[in-house]
Amino acid sequence: MIDHISGSYSDFEDDEARQIQQSLLPTGPLTTNSFEIAYRFWPFTGVGGDFADFFTLPNGSAGLYVGDVVGKGLSAAMYAALVTGMLRGIHETGESTASALAILNKRLLVRPVTGRYSATLYAVFDPDSRQLTFSNAGLPYPALASESGCFMLGEGGLPSGLFPDTSYEQHSATLSPGDAVLFATDGLHEIRDRHDNDFSWERLGQIWHQCRNKSAEESLDYLFQGAVEFSQGGHAPHDDITAVVLKIHD
């Protein structure tokens, strides 16, 4: 009887954790006349350490962030909720992407959690100039699918909450109608097939370039279908996978 009650209580906690995590994710895509943003969230377990959000800023630009905290399961999800809450407070101040990540890093280190830190990317897109600006604290490089090919954007950086006084570079790119930018956590790149080959940047780039003529939602469906087909008969994903796509309308 005690074991039964304990198990039921644990299931209840897991359900509560899933509901809380879902409440921190976007409720659907963000669509305007000039661009759209959509996402997919695929946790390794019922809850995970990845997070994402996107929103319209007061000046008409769109902001988005994607993150991956170290660890898996409930404890990682709790830390991801902490990081998300901090980011929401910071982006409302109008800070640059580089400053926002520097502030996040500083705040996480005020009361550090042993062994916890977060790879975090924060980006802002100005639809009038089609200028994408972003700063990267340890996530895989964004992938731009354009008419001339697929390219990795920017550089990396130290994860948030790891070292004091960390500063971040600010990168920018001017996008064209039809372009699509993929922001993803490393769980996507680390999917492996039955021969223990990983998904690889090359394979990701080939698939992503084919998404240029698709909508944001269609692009994500196509990308994840390609990842699942690649891994058939191979290893099950061993990490959370989150992807956000910014699609510029023609």
CA separation, residue 46 to residues 50, 59, 77 (Å) = 12, 37, 10
Give the domain range for residue 185. 2-248
Q: What's phi and psi for 59, nearest 5 deg?
A: -85, 5
Q: 204 versus 32: which is more confidently predicted?
A: 32
Q: Which amino acid is at 73?
A: G
Contact by Cβ (8 Å): 135, 157? yes
Q: Do 242 and 33 form a contact (C-beta atoms < 8 A)?
A: no
Q: Coil, strand, or helix at residue 209?
A: helix
Q: What is the pLDDT of residues 178-210, one digit of tens each?
A: 999 999 998 887 787 777 787 777 888 888 888
110, 169, 218, 242, 250 from 40: Cα distances, Å: 32, 27, 11, 6, 23
> Between vectors from CA 104 to CA 247 and to CA 24, what angle results, nearest 5°?
55
Distance CA 34, CA 128 (A): 9
Q: What is the 3-state secondary structure of 63-99?
A: EEEEEEECCCHHHHHHHHHHHHHHHHHHHCCCCCHHH
In angstroms, the CA 195 to CA 15 distance is 35
Q: Please tell me the least confidently modeled range out of 119-128, 150-159, 191-200.
A: 191-200
Of 201 and 102, the one with more pLDDT: 102
Q: Which residues pair with 124 in a beta bridge?
A: 63, 133
Mean pLDDT, range 136-155, rounded to an integer: 93
pLDDT value of position 13: 56
- Mean pLDDT rounded to a whole number for the chain: 85
Output DSSP code: residue 236.
P
239 has pLDDT over 90:
no
Residue 112 has pLDDT above 60, yes or no: yes
Residue 83 · residue 160 · CB < 8 Å: yes
The token duo for 9 is 């209580």
Region 114-143 average pLDDT = 95
**Is residue 212's pLDDT more than 80?**
yes
DSSP 164: T
Q: How confident is the model at residue 240 (pLDDT cuts 50, 70, 90)?
A: confident
Task: Please state, for a pLDDT cut of 70, what percent of the chain lies above it.
Answer: 86
pLDDT band at 12 (very low <50, low <70, confident <90, very high): very low
Q: What pLDDT was estimated at residue 15?
A: 67
Element (H, E) at 244: strand 241-248
Measure the CA–CA gap between 89 and 73, rounded to whole angstroms: 25
Q: What is the pLDDT of residue 24?
A: 65
- Where residue 81 sits, what CATH number does that domain have? 3.60.40.10
Number of domain units in the chain? 1
pLDDT of 2 strictly over 60 = no
- Distance between the two ends of the chain, CA-based, in angstroms? 62
Tokens at 140, concatenated? 């895989």
pLDDT (average), residues 27-33: 91
